[in-house]
């Protein structure tokens, strides 16, 4: 038996039924307010919490409210139906023979009389529905079935009495109409089935159920193809997600302001908060910070972790993951895995990933070398304005790789990239102007682009600018300026610049003559495989300039240069009188003619 004194709202002295009615009305008002503030995440959250509290209170009260008079009418209808059916059946035995059963002893009639005496029903005014052996009732508020066998004579409808209920099992479709049953909307599902509160569909959300139950919709308003309520729920969920994103974007904006102001530590605090909302842009930004060491200690492993989080939704981060695999930073170097991640981002339209994938095809790293594929991906990225891809596309046209050679098209793409301050493209464009490839030869324009690239730190542009100063191409000849730019490129490890700087020291061009300094720079270039530097260094050993004479070391350097195809070294080896004999004359090393590096 259900205890009629089980927990209720102890703060109120009202009757449970009256209080339940007020709470339900309040719940409807709260739901209406909820829909008015879907775009205000703060108010929405507060009203949603209030709605949950109301539901819990209503559920508690429903379990304690006894069957009301209106419910007694429904029960009486069922009893009358059973009474009529039983009265007929009781006149026939199992063999179809009439029997003398006294109807006055029928307990169903006694139940009806008890209801009438308690003034709960008017038997003359009841509209009796045609039930077919219906032996169970449905409790409107509790959502459970009430069996006739649980009612004792004289207790049905008693406001102070509780009834015994059974858990609902094997629900059947009623044959009578909704109007005849006098059921409220929350007592049937879309197809008219009996259903406990919340059983419209397992997938329905709590808010969807409340909308069905409390917004006063008629059955035909939400049956079959009507999706208004589902759309309302979808709109609310979208609004919640939009509010979450907008909050993360606002936090990101603050972080970006600090980042632009170079307050990286403060910027990262905001990025972390946005990342906690699973905001991919913030996660990628944290990866960038760890990768570059801005605002935090450089940590490629942490950079990789944040890039991986962002890569779930962000193509740009997928390209970053690929870069980490390609360079072996924060993870073991793996060209195959790098290509896989580059392809993920490239296929989603990320220009950076497209450029890197093209470079892999161009060089054959992580994938079979394929200039046609390289050309295709360079084209995609270049058309999005990616400067390095524009330079790469220019290289394809310049060398005729994956496409028919065309200096004019190469110059067009070099210029596009050069105008975006791509130093490699600026140097290549200057080479086009120096030699008149694809454009009219113009040393002045060539030097203009060389200076732009050299000032950005391009060692290739610096050596080429030094050569222009040395030979007076596009500007007055100036050996001191030539040495200045040679020095800058040589300190970055450029072998040609090291060789040219060594020659300047050997002859005293633009700097005081210094054979020791000359040998130092020639040796650096020779160790990098520069054949001209190897040949000149061999002559220094042969003649003892800036270093002790050593014919055998001289022969070794001559041989190294000859093996690389240096014709001067090959001729020198043919004319040497012997490894241990002195040469007939001590001629100084002659630096080879200098040529602009492209």
Nearest-10 Cα torsion for 346, 350, 355, 357: -20
For residue 479, the model assigns a pLDDT of 96
Helix, strand and coil content of the chain, in percent to the nearest 5, comes to 60, 0, 40
Quote the pLDDT of residue 23. Answer: 77
The CA distances from residue 423 to 140, 148, 457, in Å, are: 79, 92, 8
Q: Mind listing the pLDDT tens digit of every residue in the chain (598 residues)?
A: 334 333 333 334 445 556 777 777 777 777 767 667 766 777 777 887 887 887 788 777 766 655 455 445 555 554 455 445 444 444 444 444 444 444 444 444 555 565 555 554 444 444 444 443 344 443 444 444 444 344 334 433 443 433 333 344 343 444 444 444 444 444 444 444 433 444 434 444 555 555 555 555 555 554 444 566 677 677 677 766 666 667 777 788 878 888 888 888 988 888 888 888 888 999 999 999 999 999 999 999 999 999 999 999 999 999 999 999 999 999 999 999 999 999 999 999 999 999 999 999 999 999 999 999 999 999 999 999 999 999 999 999 999 999 999 999 999 999 999 999 999 999 999 999 999 999 999 999 999 999 999 999 999 999 999 999 999 999 999 999 999 999 999 999 999 999 999 999 999 999 999 999 999 999 999 999 999 999 999 999 999 999 999 999 999 999 999 999 999 999 999 888 654 444 444 444 443 434 444 4
- Position 73 scores a pLDDT of 52
Give per-residue burial for 323-350: e unless 16+ CB within 10 Å, then b: bbbbeeebbeebbebbbbbbbbbbeeeb
Q: Which residues pair with 146 in a beta bridge?
A: 137
Residue 136 per-residue DSSP state: E
pLDDT of residue 210: 58
Overall pTM > 0.85 = no
Helix (H, G, I), strand (E, B) or coil at 438: coil
What pLDDT is recorded for position 60? Answer: 75
* pLDDT tens by residue, 18-39: 677 777 777 777 776 766 776 6
Name which of 214, 208, 199, 215 is nearest 233 in CA terms. Answer: 208
Residue 537's pLDDT is: 96
How many Å apart are CA 263 and CA 296, to the nearest integer? 11
At what angle are helices 206-214 and 16-36 packed, to 10 degrees?
120
Question: What would the DSSP string read from start to end of 201-257?
Answer: -TT--HHHHHHHHHS---GGGSSTT--HHHHHHHHHHHHHHHHHHHHHHHHHHHHHH
């Amino acid at each position: 038996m259900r205890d009629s004194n089980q927990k209720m709202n102890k703060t109120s002295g009202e009757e449970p039924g009256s209080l339940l009615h007020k709470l339900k009305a309040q719940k409807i008002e709260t739901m209406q307010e909820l829909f008015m503030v879907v775009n205000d995440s703060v108010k929405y959250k507060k009203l949603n919490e209030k709605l949950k509290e109301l539901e819990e209170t209503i559920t508690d009260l429903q379990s304690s409210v006894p069957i009301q008079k209106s419910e007694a009418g429904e029960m009486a209808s069922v009893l009358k139906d059973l009474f009529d059916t039983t009265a007929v059946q009781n006149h026939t035995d199992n063999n179809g023979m009439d029997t003398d059963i006294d109807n006055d002893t029928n307990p169903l009639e006694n139940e009806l009389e008890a209801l009438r005496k308690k003034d709960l029903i008017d038997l003359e005014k009841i509209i009796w529905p045609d039930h077919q052996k219906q032996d169970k009732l449905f409790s409107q508020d509790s959502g459970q079935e009430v069996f006739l066998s649980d009612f004792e004579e004289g207790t049905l409808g008693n406001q102070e009495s509780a009834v015994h209920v059974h858990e609902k099992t094997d629900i059947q479709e009623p044959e009578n109409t909704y109007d005849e049953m006098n059921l409220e909307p929350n007592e049937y599902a879309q197809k008219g089935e009996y259903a406990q509160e919340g059983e419209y569909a397992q997938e329905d959300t709590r808010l969807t159920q409340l909308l069905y139950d409390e917004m006063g919709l008629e059955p035909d308003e939400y049956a079959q193809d009507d999706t208004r309520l589902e759309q309302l729920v979808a709109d609310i969920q979208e609004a919640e997600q939009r509010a979450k994103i907008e909050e993360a974007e606002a936090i990101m904006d603050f972080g970006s302001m600090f980042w632009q102001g170079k307050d990286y530590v403060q910027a990262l605090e905001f990025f972390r908060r946005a990342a906690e909302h699973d905001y991919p842009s913030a996660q990628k930004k944290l990866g960038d910070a760890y990768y570059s060491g801005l605002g935090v200690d450089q940590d490629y492993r942490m950079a990789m972790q944040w890039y991986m989080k962002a890569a779930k939704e962000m193509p740009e981060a997928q390209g970053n993951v690929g870069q980490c695999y390609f360079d072996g930073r924060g993870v073991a170097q793996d060209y195959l895995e790098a290509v896989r991640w580059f392809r993920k981002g490239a296929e989603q339209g990320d220009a950076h990933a497209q450029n890197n994938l093209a470079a892999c095809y161009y060089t054959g790293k992580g994938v079979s070398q394929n200039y046609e594929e390289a050309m295709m991906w360079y084209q995609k990225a270049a058309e999005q304005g990616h400067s390095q891809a524009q330079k790469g596309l220019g290289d394809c046209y310049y060398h005729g790789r994956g496409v028919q050679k065309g200096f004019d098209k190469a110059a067009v793409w070099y210029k596009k990239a050069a105008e975006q301050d791509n130093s490699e493209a600026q140097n290549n464009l200057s080479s086009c102007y120096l030699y008149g490839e694809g454009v009219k030869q113009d040393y002045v324009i060539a030097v203009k682009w060389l200076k732009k690239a050299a000032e950005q730190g391009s060692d290739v542009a610096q050596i080429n600018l030094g050569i222009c100063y040395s030979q007076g191409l596009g500007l007055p000849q100036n050996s001191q300026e030539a040495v200045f730019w040679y020095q800058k490129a040589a300190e970055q490890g450029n072998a040609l610049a090291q060789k040219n700087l060594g020659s300047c020291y050997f002859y005293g061009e633009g700097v005081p003559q210094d054979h020791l300094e000359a040998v130092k720079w020639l040796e650096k270039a020779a160790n990098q495989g520069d054949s001209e530097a190897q040949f000149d260094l061999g002559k220094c050993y042969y003649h003892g300039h800036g270093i002790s004479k050593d014919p055998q070391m001289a022969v070794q350097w001559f041989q190294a240069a000859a093996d690389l195809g240096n014709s001067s070294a090959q001729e020198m080896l043919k004319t040497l009188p012997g490894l241990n004999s002195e040469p007939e004359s001590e001629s100084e090393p002659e630096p080879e003619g200098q040529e602009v590096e492209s």
